[in-house]
Amino acid sequence: MAETSQRRKPRVYEDPSGWASWVIFGGVMLILLGIFHVIQGLVALVHDDFYLVTKNGLLLNFDFTSWGWIHLVLGVLIGLVGVGLLTGNTAARVAGVVLAVLSAVVNLLFIAAYPVLSVIIIALDVIVIYSIVVHGRELEGNRY
C-alpha cells in the first residue's frame, strides 16, 4: 500500500478571548428580544385595546392581528437565532444581524402603539448588532 503524501492539517483549537462575552451577551439578548416580541405579538393578538393608539395611529395601517403575527413570527426566529449564536454558528451571526435590523425597523414602525418597550427593543437591537459584527468570531470553536 502506498502512503499518500498529503496529510491533513491538525485542527487547532484556540481559547476564546475575553471579547467572547460580548457574543454571549448578544446571544442572550437575542433570546430576550425574541421573548419580548412573542409577548408583544400575543398581546396584539389577544388584547387589541391594550395599546395607546388605534390601528389608524400607526405608521402602517395594519390591524393589530397582523402586527401580532409579525411580532410572534419575528420573536420565534430571533430566539432560535440567539440559541444558534451561542453555539458559534456563522449562519446564526449573519441571521442575527439581519433579524436585529428587521426587529429595529418593525419596532420603529410600531413605536406609536407602545413607545417605551419599542425604544428599549431598538436600543437592545443596536447593542446586539455591535456585539455580533465586532466580536462575532470569538465563539468559533475551530480555527485553522
Indicate the domain borders of the chain.
Answer: 38-48+58-137
23/78: higher pLDDT? 78
Does position 143 have pLDDT exceeding 50, yes or no?
no
pLDDT on residue 103 = 95
Does position 144 have pLDDT exceeding 50, yes or no?
no
pLDDT on residue 57 = 63
CB count in 10 Å sphere of residue 100:
29
Q: What angle do CA 132, 138, 140 make, to 5 degrees?
A: 105
Give the separation between CA 131 and CA 22, rounded to whole angstroms: 5
Q: What angle do CA 19, 117, 41 make, to 5 degrees?
A: 105
pLDDT digits (tens, 9 = 90+) for 84-133: 988 878 898 899 999 999 999 999 988 887 888 889 999 999 999 998 88
- DSSP H stretches of helix in the chain: 20-46, 64-86, 90-109, 115-135
